Amino acid sequence: MDEIRTRDPIALFQEWLADATASEPNDPTAMTLATVDAEGRPAARIVLLKGVDPRGFVFYTNHNSRKGQELGTHPMAALCFHWKSLRRQVRIEGPVETVTPEEADAYFKTRAHISQLGAWASDQSKPLDSRDTLEARLEAMRVRFAGSEVTRPPNWSGYRVLPHRIEFWRDQPFRLHDRIVFSRTQEGWDTERLYP
């Protein structure tokens, strides 16, 4: 992997993602998102990548969800992509910012109608007494928005992880794996190889 040390890590990630899209049977954009709460306790869950460009890596959620609250308290995150079919992994770390309302509105409009209604119906991460309650709330949203556009809820938006560190990992025989780390500097990116 020495040939990638001079590459732009975002462009390299996009190439690896394209490879994963062609080979992964399900959800090539699935990534583990790790956050910490006010006491520094970590939490991790799988979310879907919805955009990547030189600014960073974007996903969407409810600001009132557990991850939304944790990012509101500590706007730092780590992401991990694992593409088993390719035997590759990418780890990303950095601060987090909220996407612009225009970006959030544009993405929300691309969601399936039922998913738009679900964003209104769900009190994400809050206790739910029964599935019937969720389905009743969803039906109430169907009635509320019948015949009209479903607008984005004010507590639903996106987050962009601004990468300060990106590690590319590739499986090799006998656990002698390749690991290259890109670290952001004021001039661009520094790279180094790590022991497996």
| Position 24 pLDDT exceeds 70 | yes
Place of tokens 């497996």: 196
Query: Can you give the pLDDT at residue 25?
Result: 86
- Per-residue pLDDT at 7: 81
Q: Tens digits of per-residue pLDDT, 112-160?
A: 999 999 999 999 999 999 999 999 999 999 999 999 999 999 999 999 9
- pTM (2 d.p.): 0.93
Domain ranges of the chain: 2-109+153-193
Residue numbers annotated as active site:
175
Contact 86, 172 (CB under 8 A): no
pLDDT exceeds cutoff 80 at 4: no
Handedness of CA 57, 61, 67, 71 (dihedral sign): positive
Is the confidence at residue 3, as pLDDT, over 80? no
Among 31, 17, 156, smallest CA distance to 92 is for 31
- Are 146 and 140 contacting, i.e. CB atoms less than 8 angstroms apart? no
* pLDDT tens digit sequence for 154-187: 999 999 999 999 999 999 999 889 999 999 999 9
2-109+153-193 under CATH 2.30.110.10, yes or no: yes
